[in-house]
Chains A and B, each alone.
Chain A
Amino acid sequence: MNSVEVIGTGLAPFGRFDGVPVTDIGLTAVRSALAEAGVGRGGFQAAFCATAYGGVASGHKVLGALGMTGMPIVDVEAGCASGAAAMMLGASAIEAGQYDTVVVFGLEKMPKGIIRSSFFEPWQEAAGLAATPSYFALRAQRLMATSGVTKEHLAAVVVKNRRSGADNPDAMFRSPVDAGAVLRSRVVCEPLHLWMLCSPNEGAACVVLRSARSTAGGTGVAAVSAPRVKVASAVLRSHLPGAVLSESTPLSGLIDDAVPAPSTLAADAAYEEAGLGPGELDVVECQDTDAARELLAYEELRLCPFGGAAAMLEGGDSAPGGRLPVNSSGGLLSKGEPLGASALGQVVELVRQLQGRAGPRQVAGARVGLAHTVGRGANAGVIIVTS
């Protein structure tokens, strides 16, 4: 992908905002991104809105409130990777020459407590098979069996991300934690303790994309003063059958450990589309729904060899200042996870990193960033941005 630039970014902080309608949360992010891009009414030809729980016409409500409708507005659901799906549609349409400028946003206001997912059938709920964290736990246990990962490593991921989250004003949890406290928090599903799991929450994120060949011109802050950031790839993949612990959450799979994960399918396609490899990345935002999920992502995204996740963490490679900082935003463990906004929140963070605008979280000299989301479907998204 060669001709798509990010000309504006906007966020609504991730957290819990009782009484604030999801449309208002979306408006905050979209207004901010349009202002940064210097794009107004009539300045874009399509919009893609990611949400899983926002409801019918979520995108129309936001753009309707701004008096900016008439163009195609497509609501997109792809679970935890909804934002990546919207990004793929928006960026691909520009790359194909269909549009000059596109608004891509995501918004969410998640239910509280253990979320009742329409994914499961009633009999699965009755049988106790709809306990989402238990599948995270089974995946964590297998990673521990294959990669030398211990509970202490899981706690170390939480400590790393919460420390970074303390520097992120848009995160939900901004207090650092120590490993002892993580391991003393209650066991939700062995081996996962409560603090090793991210919190579903509320938030929104938006990027304005424009063709590099555009003659529309920009007046926004990013357009005139910041380094230009290109979308090098925006990929969405689903699962292949056979992996029993795949995010597709099947009831059975094959005795076969070689079935590629959806995240690996997405990453390989994204590296190919961008014409670069994992060795060229400077900063990564990945799906840390739980602490083990981050370590699994190191392997699935080929940031380290398979079996090497514990070593990558122990060596400090993925910590701030390391070879390849992962989740310098604080990750979902600090920010929480508003499904539709999650992937685009990662993209906003990476664009600001590449533009040197990440404040105390800045990764020095970052030129290539990768955003990864994966969840039920299965859906896996990988977006690579470069400057």
Chain B
Amino acid sequence: MSTGPVAAVREGLFVAGATPHLLGSRCVACGAHHFPAHGTCPYCSSEDVHGVGLSSSGRLWAWTAVTTAPPGYRGEVPYGLGVVELPEGIRVVTRLTEPDPTRLTSGQPMTCVILTLHTEDDGRQITTYAFAADPP
């Protein structure tokens, strides 16, 4: 594994560091949370929306594994993909660190981590958000 500089797959999606978490938004008018952050609330069209950090922990709601690399993807296969419920009342589509669906269970506690997807030709490591099952 290269140790080149790290770059997020897209700025503004997540925060790395000691407690990685997603960056979303909250609508002041209707109270709904969003991910990624929106400028206009998709639920009520209010523009009174503020950026918020979302909880780093949640529970697993749906999951599968991708066995063939989809278009534009340069990382490893198979890999886990699923939906995690966060305490803010939202369900988030996310990479899962567990590629074996038989090792996951519904409602299992999960925590946000940062995952390296691939290394660019210039040495930059491209990272994204993912969720990992909490140790039992």
* Chains A and B belong together in one complex: yes
Whether A181 sits at the interface, judged by CB under 8 Å, is no
Residue on B with the closest CB to A126?
A: B9
Residue among B70, B73, B82, B126 with max Cβ neighbours from chain A (10 Å)? B70
Verify A134–B81 contact, CB threshold 8 A: yes
Whether A213 sits at the interface, judged by CB under 8 Å, is no
Interface magnitude class on chain A: 35 or more
Verify A190–B65 contact, CB threshold 8 A: yes
Whether A241 sits at the interface, judged by CB under 8 Å, is yes
Task: Chain A residues near B118: list those with CB within 8 A.
Answer: 126
- Measured in the bound complex, the distance between the Cα atoms of B68 and A137 in whole Å is 14
Verify A242–B65 contact, CB threshold 8 A: no
A-B contact pairs, 19 of them (CB 8 A): A125-B71, A126-B118, A126-B126, A127-B117, A128-B79, A128-B81, A134-B64, A134-B70, A138-B63, A138-B83, A188-B67, A190-B64, A190-B65, A244-B93, A245-B62, A250-B93, A252-B24, A252-B90, A255-B91
Q: A134-B66, A134-B81 are in contact. List 13 more A-B contacts (CB 8 A).
A: A125-B72, A126-B118, A128-B70, A129-B95, A131-B66, A187-B67, A188-B67, A190-B101, A191-B64, A244-B91, A245-B83, A251-B93, A254-B32
Interface, chain B (partner A; CB < 8 A): 9-10, 24, 32, 34-36, 42-43, 62-68, 70-75, 79, 81-83, 85, 89-93, 95, 101, 106, 117-118, 126, 128
Interchain residue pairs A-B with the least CB separation, the first 9: A125-B72, A116-B71, A131-B70, A123-B10, A137-B64, A252-B35, A244-B91, A241-B42, A190-B101
Interface, chain A (partner B; CB < 8 A): 114-117, 120-123, 125-134, 137-138, 141-142, 145, 186-191, 241-242, 244-245, 250-255
